[in-house]
Amino acid sequence: MNVLAINGSPRKKWNTATLLEKALEGAASVGAETELVHLYDLDFKGCTSCFACKLKGGKSYGKCAMKDGLTPILEKIVKTDVLILGSPIYFGTVTGEMRSFMERLLFPYLVYAMPPESLFDRKIPTAFIYTMNVPEHMMKEFNYPVHFSLNENILSRTFGQSESLCSFETLQFEDYDKVVFNYFDPEERRQRRRTVFPEDCRKSYELGAKLASHRL
C-alpha cells in the first residue's frame, strides 16, 4: 500500500505542506508507506501539446513523452494506491506548478471518446487539499468552488473517485509587522492558527487514514 502526496506550494513547512504531512500520517497509521513530493523542487514544464500520448500505436501512447524532473513522479503515480494533491489558492485557483503538473498527469490518460474514457488501468482514491487566505463565505462568493468541482470531476473520471478538503483563513506570514498588510486583524489570524488549524490537521489526518483504509 503506497500513498503519494504532491505539494503544489512553494513552501515546504507551512499550511499546505503541514496538512499533506498530516494526511500521510493518517495513512501511515493504518499501515501505508508514504511519500511527499514538493513540486517546486522539480524542474519541469506543463503540457506542450505534442500529442505524442495520443498517437495510434505510438511508443508514448497513454503516457507523457516529455522527459524532465516530473517524469519519475509520473512513473510513481502509475504504481501508487492513493494520490493526494495539495495547493494554496492563488487568484482563485491552484498554483502554476500544480496546474502544470495536472496537465502532465491527466492529459495522457484522457481518451477522446463520448463519454470521455480513462487509460489509467485501475481505480484508486484521490483527494485535493486546498489552503486559502479567504474565509469560507468569500470563497463561495468568488466562485472558487467552480474550480474545485472541475478538479474533483477530472480526478474522478481519471482515477475513479475524489474528494476535497478546504482550510480557510490560513496564516500567511510569521511576522505580519514586516509586510504591508491591512486586510484583516493579524492577531485574529494568529488566534485561528492556534485554535482552528489544528482541527483542519485532524480532518486531514482522518482523510489520509480513510483513503488508505479503502485500499487495504
Instruction: Indicate whether 188 pLDDT > 90.
Output: no
**Rounded-to-integer distance, Cα 207 and Cα 210, Å:** 5
pLDDT at 216 exceeding the cut of 80: no
Domain 2-215 CATH class label: alpha beta
As a whole-number percent, the residues of the chain with pLDDT over 70 amount to: 99
Q: Which residue has the higher pLDDT, 182 or 70?
A: 70
- Residue range 41-95, pLDDT digits in tens: 999 999 999 999 999 988 999 999 999 999 999 999 999 999 999 999 999 999 9
In three-state secondary structure terms, 110 is strand
What are the tens digits of pLDDT across the range 8-19? 999 999 999 999
Beta bridge partners, 129, equal 86, 165
| DSSP state letters, 126-144 | EEEEEE-SS-HHHHHHTTH
Tell me the domain boundaries of the chain: 2-215
**Predicted pLDDT of residue 64:** 96
CA distance 133 to 193: 12
Indicate the average pLDDT of the chain. 93
Among candidate residues 127, 148, 206, 199, the one with its CA nearest the CA of residue 169: 199
Q: pLDDT-derived band of residue 116, with 50, 70 and 90 as boundaries?
A: confident
Q: In 10 A of CB 86, how many CB atoms?
A: 29
User: Residues with Cβ < 8 Å from 111, sequence gap 6 or more?
Assistant: 117, 118, 119
pTM: 0.93
Instruction: Give the integer Cα–Cα distance in Å for 17 and 154.
Output: 23
Measured CA to CA, the distance from residue 16 to residue 36 in angstroms comes to 12
pLDDT computed for residue 95 by the predictor: 97
Give the whole-angstrom CA distance, residue 134 versus residue 140. Answer: 10
pLDDT number for residue 215: 58
Q: What is the pLDDT of residues 131-159, one digit of tens each?
A: 999 999 999 999 999 999 999 999 999 99
pLDDT of residue 181: 80
> Is the model more confident about 56 or about 181?
56
